[in-house]
Amino acid sequence: MLSILAITFPFFALVLAGYLAARRRMLPFEAISGLNTFVLFFALPCLLYRFGASTPIAQLLDPLALATWVVCALLVVAGTVKFSMNARIRWNDAAFGALVAAFPNTGFMGVPLLVALLGARAAGPAILTILIDLVVTSSLCIGLSRLDGADEHGAAEAAKKALKGVALNPMPWAILLGGLASAAAWKPFAPVMNTIGLLADAASPVALFTIGAVLARSQFVGSQTEHASLPARDFVPVSLVKLLVHPLLVWGVGMGVRAAGLPLDPFTLHVMVLVAALPSASNVSLLAERFGADTGRIARIILLTTAAAFLTFSAAVALLE
């Protein structure tokens, strides 16, 4: 366990450093968008391209892994929406609660952390889950969020806007270009590849620091919009779904696939279970703010899962070993 904590501790320590820097205003809230821009449009795409280009294309297009992750994501979304709905929480808040329960922080935290734990081979399955969550899970939840007082056309329009957002997100394109480079066994010229490498090396520390800063800002924004104390039952159960139910569900469905005689790779399943055990994606708070959901609730879920994941994720790694 100590050997596992030796790897996971620095990742969570950087998140804490970013949180404290923003909370104490050492890092102005206005500067966080600049950090986000650097990570999202420069460093992280280079990291994903490098991993994609060095991963066999069969791992990036594993149909059994894809089907397993999609089924689990749909079950988590459906279950979270169903038990979240009440007099206070309607479709908009329930849908974003479901998204934060089903969407792990794979890009900013998961890929570098899993590679550090399991080696470069872990990048393939993790990257596959990013594609599914960006295209399928996010679009579905944004579409569901529009069902409050809207017809099916409103939900369809919201889903189209979500897909447009995916098209403008550089991460899927970086993964696609990396996959094509892997399939063609092609590498850029050395100076270009060295530049990509420098940006990729910067992705992990800056992304982790940015996660903490985004959490601090989201918590502040949420506290400004809350009119009453948020009941624990509105955010704690969703956090438990993310950290406990989601990884157990992926493990159970994956083991069922293997028990049925289908060739789901054990290592791929191992990686996907750990991806599911990651804390919630921090960018969901930005989406919730954009679509008028309860950002305070979403921020608390993300903050709680990120803090608790230091122990729960490390425990999941130890149990799977």
311-316: long-range pairs with CB below 8 Å, 24+? 312/243, 312/244, 312/277, 313/8, 313/243, 313/274, 313/277, 313/278, 313/279, 314/1, 314/4, 314/5, 314/8, 316/247, 316/273, 316/274, 316/277
State the Cα angle at 279 between 284 and 80, rounded to 5°.
65
Looking at residue 167, its pLDDT comes to 72
CA 249/CA 72 separation, integer angstroms: 6
Looking at residue 66, its pLDDT comes to 93
Residue 80's closest CA among 159, 162, 161, 140?
Answer: 140
Range of the domain at 137: 2-320
CA 235/CA 102 separation, integer angstroms: 14
Amino acid letter at 316?
A
Looking at residue 273, its pLDDT comes to 97
- Domain count within the chain: 1
Looking at residue 143, its pLDDT comes to 83
Q: Is 228 helix (H, G, I), strand (E, B) or coil?
A: coil
37 contact partners, CB below 8 Å, separation of at least 6: none
Residue with tokens 């420098």: 198
Amino acid letter at 89?
I
Residue 158's closest CA among 302, 299, 290?
Answer: 290
Q: Is 193 helix (H, G, I), strand (E, B) or coil?
A: helix
Looking at residue 158, its pLDDT comes to 64
Q: What is the CATH number of the domain that holds 24?
A: 1.20.1530.20
Q: Which residues of the chain have pLDDT under 50?
A: none
CA 273/CA 277 separation, integer angstroms: 6
